[in-house]
Amino acid sequence: MNLKKNIQNIKKNYSLGIIGGGQLALMLAEAAKNRGIKVCVQTKSSSDPAGSKADCVIEADPLKVKGNKELIKECEKITFENEWIKIEKLNLIGSKNIFVPSLESIQPLVDRISQKKLIDRMNFPSPKWLSLKEFRRLDDEEIKDWHFPLMVKSYKGGYDGKGNKRINNQDELNSFALNANLDECLIEEWVDYKKELALVGSRDFDGNIRFFPIVETYQKNNVCDWVFSPAEINYDLKTFAINIFSSIVNELNYVGVMAIEFFYGDSGLLINEIAPRTHNSAHFSIEACSSSQFDQHICISSGIKPPEINMHCQGSLMINLLGLKKKYPLSIEKRIELLSQIKGSNLHWYGKSEESPGRKMAHITFLLNENNHLKRALKAKEILIKVREIWPSPNY
């Protein structure tokens, strides 16, 4: 497939189409603009975040084939900003070679069960799991290997902890199972990890893999609260994570940006989740790196060789700004004004029309120039306190 030729010789109106129009599509569209690449976005409304930066908006539900077909008509290549897609329907459209990453390569990643099966097949460590149906059939002997608390997760659509539930005892499990669709849930062992880590990288059409620094992420109520980069980890751990990433993208012949979230603790490194897209844990790369995750994905999906990735500062702190309750005393305008006054702040406002508790409304990044981890961690703590005085994490 000669993508380079496509880009120089564009026959359609837009180089790239993006299915979905949230904040990830917004930041992809911004990166495309920086490179003079024209993008068209398929999203429900042109007032969705990406609508303001895209060169064209197809106002259609991203899951509807009619809109997908229109997008395909307009764009040389099509990419995704999230994995809530109906691959079976896209497969039927008959323009398979237009998708980057390919439908085949994301197929095993779009639902949790097929992801887990892939991880198991490759013998990579991850929390023990069973489908809820299988779990309910365990006999008295088999169930002894499982201990409460347990985690139930829905197969699909589970992002930011949506569809996850901690189950503390047998009664809770029984009442959960009564109301749940057993075919749509899995049970996972509870992991007492010390840290959460994430690795985001890209793979281009020639098979070259590039990485952002491994980061430490911190979640509150299952949603990412802040991301500190680089994580303080030893060489072996870093190499293991990089090996896992490379093996997975190579196995799938995956092209584009991918993210892997890990737990790290007494059981070592465990894969938590794989996201076939740009990811919250690499937003810091917009300011901190020579090429951001969005730039990498835009380049690769429109057939341009992506630049190498270098971090041009010692570290960074990215803080998510999640929607608060209506009665929060500071207006959004005031919060933005105060946050922008903090020295070194880089605020990214997503332009969502409605603030609801926990919704990702914006993020703010600070570069850290202290020359050792401890000093950076102290500085990050200081910044986090300042930011949270203005815009706290929601307590639902």
Interface with ligand AIR (CB under 6 A):
20, 22-25, 81-82, 159-160, 359-360
Report how far residue 213's alpha carbon sits from residue 341's, in angstroms, rounded to the nearest whole number. 28
What minimum distance in Å lies between the beta carbon of 63 and ligand AIR? 12
* Residue with smaller CB distance to ligand AIR, 81 or 295: 81
* Residue with smaller CB distance to ligand AIR, 159 or 328: 159
The token pair at 50 is 């990406």
What minimum distance in Å lies between the beta carbon of 66 and ligand AIR? 20
State which residue has the least CB distance to ligand AIR.
Answer: 22
* Residue with smaller CB distance to ligand AIR, 24 or 271: 24
* Residue with smaller CB distance to ligand AIR, 130 or 199: 199
What minimum distance in Å lies between the beta carbon of 25 and ligand AIR? 6
* Residue with smaller CB distance to ligand AIR, 177 or 224: 224
What minimum distance in Å lies between the beta carbon of 223 and ligand AIR? 9
* Residue with smaller CB distance to ligand AIR, 159 or 218: 159
What minimum distance in Å lies between the beta carbon of 360 and ligand AIR? 5
What minimum distance in Å lies between the beta carbon of 108 and ligand AIR? 17
* Residue with smaller CB distance to ligand AIR, 25 or 288: 25
What minimum distance in Å lies between the beta carbon of 256 and ligand AIR? 14
